[in-house]
Amino acid sequence: MSSIKKRLFMISLFVGTLFFAFQAKSQIPDEIILSLKSGNARDLSDYFNQNVELVVPGSDNVYSKAQAQLIVNNFFSENAPQSFSVIHQGGKEGSQYVIGNLGTKKGTFRVYFLLKKSEEKNFIHQLRIEKQE
């Protein structure tokens, strides 16, 4: 391969990688991130699947959408969010995950959620909020 062809190949590979990374990032609805930052359980629950595997301090089970909303609302009431930042995200076709840090007045929590795409939109199938030591 000539030097020019190698450079073009590397540039194409780099641009393609950026395109796929951007596309994966854009699949996480902004409303989910905003609801975590603001502690809005009602808006967050709009993205809950009918049943959600939920792990928050004091609760660890599969709950209905309505039950999960109440539990998350209680968590946000006791731990008012001050910030949320995405640390890592990834996935494959049809599912995405996000790992982030939720800053509250009572400390920092690690947040993990798994989204699976349905015909209509992405739904949260699993949400974990765990205290960081």
For the 28-131 domain, the top CATH level (class) is alpha beta
Q: Where are the domains of the chain?
A: 28-131
pLDDT of residue 72: 97
Q: Are residues 18 and 32 in contact, defined by beta-carbon separation less than 8 angstroms?
A: no
pLDDT of residue 2: 65
Structure tokens at 10: 């590397």
Helix/strand/coil for 28 = coil
pLDDT of residue 10: 64
Q: Provide the terminal-to-terminal Cα distance of the chain, rounded to the nearest Å.
A: 52
pLDDT in 10s for each residue of the chain, 133 residues: 567 766 666 676 666 555 554 444 447 889 999 999 999 999 999 999 999 999 999 999 999 999 999 999 999 999 999 999 999 999 888 899 999 999 998 999 999 999 998 877 889 999 999 998 7
80 contacts: CB under 8 Å, gap ≥ 6: 39, 104, 105
